[in-house]
Structure 1
C-alpha cells in the first residue's frame, strides 16, 4: 500500500451506519478514506486515538452561515462541536444572484431576519459577486468546513421585481425571469431552491420578506424548476403559525411533489410545545407520504433554549401595537422612549394582545438575567425578574425595563418558561431524534446570533442523552448526525466511514464531551455581539483528511469543499418514486 497522508490509530470506530463500534485504524489519502483495519500502514502523520471514539463529521442541513463564512472560514464555534458540513441558503435568504440594487436591500434584510448585526455585515461582508458561479468560486479554497448553498426565493424576487418584491405580484415576464435566474443558479452549482411564508420573517423595514407575498402557485412553479437538475433539493418554511392543519400538510406535500425532491421544514423545538402538539406536527409527514411526497420535520437535539434583548429586539419586534414602531427606531431613540412610564404602560398592555406563541415566552416575571453590561446591574445576573421586582417594590415589567435602560438595552434575558432540561425532557427528545419522520437539524446555525446557541445541540445530546442518561446508544446518535442527513440530502460519499468516502472525521472523548459556559462576546466584525458556547472533549475535527481543529483550537487549514449540485450531490428520489 502506498504511504498514507494520515493514520488515525487505536480508536473505537463508529462508522455512522448505526453498526456497533469496533476497534481499528483509519487511513487517509488525498482527502478520502483509503484504509480501515487493524494493521498500521506507513503514514506521514499519525493521530493516536486510543481511548477515543472516531466518527464521521456531523452534517448540519439548516444553517445561515452565508455571510459569516466571508470572514470566518470555520463557521465558528459550530465546527468546534464536530460539524464538518453546513448547508446554507435556507428560508429563501441567499446572497446570490445579486444586482447592485438587490444587494442594497438583501444585506440589511438578511441581517434583520437572521439576526446578524448589521454593523458586522457593513464592515466585513465581502459579496463582490453577482452570479452563483462567482459566489461559489469566491469560497473555493477559503473555507475550513464543507459548504453548500441553495438559491432563495426572496433573493430572486428582489433581483427581478425591485421594490415591488415586497407586496407585489410578479408579471408573466417577471415570473419567467425568476425561473431563468433559478435555472442559471442551479446549473452553476446551487444545491436547490428555498422559500418561506413564515409570518415571523420580517425585514429591516418591519415588512414581511419578499417570498411571504408569493402565491402558492408561484412557489410551486419555481419549485418545479428544481426537478430539472441533478443532485438538487428543496427547502421551505411554511406559513403555519401553529400546528399544520390537513390543508397545511397537503400544501407542504405539494412543494415536495412540484420539486420531485424530498425536503425538510422547521421544526420540532423540544419542550416549546406539548408532546401532543409535536406529534401533530409529525403527522403532517404521514399526510405527505400518502400523497407520494417526502417531507420531514427538522429535529433539534437539545431542549429549547432562547435568549433575547431589547437592543436587536428579535422576537420582541413581533409583538402587536406599539412594539414594531419602537424597534423601527434607532437604539438611542428607543432607549429614551423606554424611560417614559406612559410608553411602558402602553407596551405592557399591547403585549397582552400577542398570539399565544409569544405570550408563553414573554412572561415578564419569568425572565432570567443572563448577562449585563452595566456594573450597576451585575448583582442581578442569574436572578429572575419577579424576584428583583419584589425586592424593589415594582411591577415585573418596570423592574425589567429599569435594568434594560441602565444597560443601554444590552441586557441578555432568558425566558425560563421555555427551558426544561429535566430527565424526562431528554427522554422525550430522543424519541423525536429516532422518529423516521424527522431529520436531525433545525438549529439555525449562524442566525439569531445573540438569541440562540443551538449550534451546540449535537454536543449537548452526546453529553446528556447518550452519556448522562443512556437513553440512546452512541452508534444510533451518530447515525442521526451523519448518515441519515447525508442520504436525505443526497450528499455523495459523506456521512459514513468507509473506503472511498471523504475523510470528514471527528475524534472525541465521550467521558468529557460537553459544552462550556455560554458567553455574550463582542467578537464579530465591528464589535458585533453573539452568544458563544465552546465545546469540550473534541480532540480533532478533520475535514477532507486535514485537521481543522486540534484540542479545541483551529489549525488555520482550509480544506473545506464548496459543494456543487450534481458533482457533490446526487438526486434523492421521492419515497413514492423509489418504491416503483
Structure 2
C-alpha cells in the first residue's frame, strides 16, 4: 500500500475491520495520519508495495497524483478519475478528511491508484499526437488482473479524438488497426480489403465512450476484477462472424490465436 512504513498507518491498517473504521473516524488519529501522509513530518520507513507485495519506492505525498479509480456507490461515481487534491478543493476539506470520508462512506471498498506524472493531460495529448506513438499493442499479461484496461480504444475514440482533437478519427482508427497489424507483420488483417480477415467494429463516433467501472467477481476464488463496458458500439465482427450485435453477445466464437511470422519461424 501507499502508506506502508508510516508508523500510525501501520498500526491502524493492522486493526480488525471495525476497529480500523473507528480509528479512521477519530480526529486525533486523523491528525497523526495526515502528519505522516500529507505533511510529511514523519519519515516513511520501508516503501510502498504493489498487489504482489513487491516494494515500489516511497509515497511522494503528491495527492494531485492519487486518483479515485473505482467507487462502489452510484452517488460517488462522479468522483472517479478525480484526484484527492481535486476532491478536497471541491468539498472544501483537508486532504486527509476528503480521502478518509470517501473511504468510510464506502466501507473502505473504494479503489484508489497512484498515477504517473506522464498522466498530465497536456503531456498525454502531445504523446498521442506523435506519429511514433503506437496504441494498444501490449498483451493481456500472464495472469488475470484486477485492472484490465478495457477502455483503451473507447477512451481514445471518445475522449482524445472527439473531445480533445488529439488526432483525426481516421488516424485513430488506423493506429488501432492497420498500424498495429503492420507492426506485428500481420498482413491478412488490419485493413478492410478483399482477401483479408473481416475483423470489423462498427461504432458511432458521436457517442462512443467507456461506461463507468464496475467490480465483478470473475477471478479465481471470487476475486474482484474491473469490468468496463462501452456505449456507441453497434456491431463487432471477428473473422467474418458477428460476435456482438446491438448490445448483446451472440453465440459465435470465431476468435483464434494469431501467430505472427516470428513465432512461426521459431516454432
Q: TM-score, normalised by structure 1?
A: 0.33
Q: How does 1:386-397 map to 2 (within 5 A)?
A: 388=91, 390=93, 396-397=95-96
Aligned to 2:109: 410
Distance 1:415 1:466, change over 3 A: same
Structure 1: any 5+ residue segments left out of the alignment? 1-312, 572-580
Deviation at 1:359, TM superposition (A): 2.2
Aligned to 1:520: 214
Aligned to 2:203: 508
* C-alpha distance after superposition, 1:312-358 (max 9, x if no partner): x5xx3xx55249x95xx88x746645727398468534559978985
Does 1:431 find its partner at 2:125?
Answer: no
* C-alpha distance after superposition, 1:453-498 (max 9, x if no partner): 6431222222244334544333322221122222222335222223
Does 1:359 find its partner at 2:57?
Answer: no
Q: Is the 8 A contact 2:137 2:180 kept in 1?
A: no
Q: How does 1:72-471 map to 2 (within 5 A)?
A: 313=1, 316=2, 321-322=5-6, 333=16, 336-337=19-20, 339=23, 341=29, 344=33, 348=37, 349-350=42-43, 358-359=59-60, 361-363=62-64, 371-372=71-72, 382=79, 384-385=87-88, 388=91, 390=93, 396-401=95-100, 403-405=102-104, 407-413=106-112, 424=122, 427-432=125-130, 434-435=131-132, 438-441=133-136, 449-450=146-147, 454-471=149-166
Aligned to 2:51: none
Deviation at 1:560, TM superposition (A): 0.8
Deviation at 1:549, TM superposition (A): 0.6
**Partner SS state of residue 460, structure 1:** helix
Deviation at 1:527, TM superposition (A): 5.3
Deviation at 1:537, TM superposition (A): 2.2
Deviation at 1:400, TM superposition (A): 2.5
> Following the alignment from structure 1 to structure 2, what is the Cα–Cα distance between the partners of residues 535 and 527?
24
Greater radius of gyration (CA): 1
Distance 1:569 1:456, change over 3 A: farther
Q: Is the 8 A contact 1:368 1:384 kept in 2?
A: no
Deviation at 1:503, TM superposition (A): 1.8
**Partner SS state of residue 179, structure 2:** helix
* C-alpha distance after superposition, 1:401-436 (max 9, x if no partner): 354245332023466896655xx566414323x22x
Q: Is the 8 A contact 1:361 1:417 kept in 2?
A: no
Does 1:499 find its partner at 2:194?
Answer: yes
Aligned to 1:83: none
> Following the alignment from structure 2 to structure 1, what is the Cα–Cα distance between the partners of residues 186 and 229?
28
Number of matched pairs: 236
Q: Is the 8 A contact 1:335 1:409 kept in 2?
A: no
Q: Is the 8 A contact 2:5 2:44 kept in 1?
A: yes
Does 1:487 find its partner at 2:193?
Answer: no
**Partner SS state of residue 134, structure 2:** strand
> Following the alignment from structure 2 to structure 1, what is the Cα–Cα distance between the partners of residues 19 and 78?
24
Deviation at 1:536, TM superposition (A): 2.2
Distance 1:471 1:552, change over 3 A: same
Q: Is the 8 A contact 2:199 2:237 kept in 1?
A: yes
> Following the alignment from structure 1 to structure 2, what is the Cα–Cα distance between the partners of residues 389 and 494?
53
Q: TM-score, normalised by structure 2?
A: 0.63
> Following the alignment from structure 1 to structure 2, what is the Cα–Cα distance between the partners of residues 455 and 361?
27
Q: Is the 8 A contact 1:443 1:454 kept in 2?
A: no
> Following the alignment from structure 1 to structure 2, what is the Cα–Cα distance between the partners of residues 363 and 335?
29
* C-alpha distance after superposition, 1:47-78 (max 9, x if no partner): xxxxxxxxxxxxxxxxxxxxxxxxxxxxxxxx
Distance 1:465 1:356, change over 3 A: same
Structure 1, 550-559 or 465-474: larger mean CA deviation: 465-474
Distance 1:529 1:361, change over 3 A: farther
Tell me: higher relative CO, structure 1 or 2? Use CA pairs within 8 A at least 6 residues apart.
1
Distance 1:367 1:335, change over 3 A: farther
Distance 1:428 1:347, change over 3 A: same
Deviation at 1:547, TM superposition (A): 1.1
Distance 1:565 1:407, change over 3 A: same
Distance 1:386 1:444, change over 3 A: farther
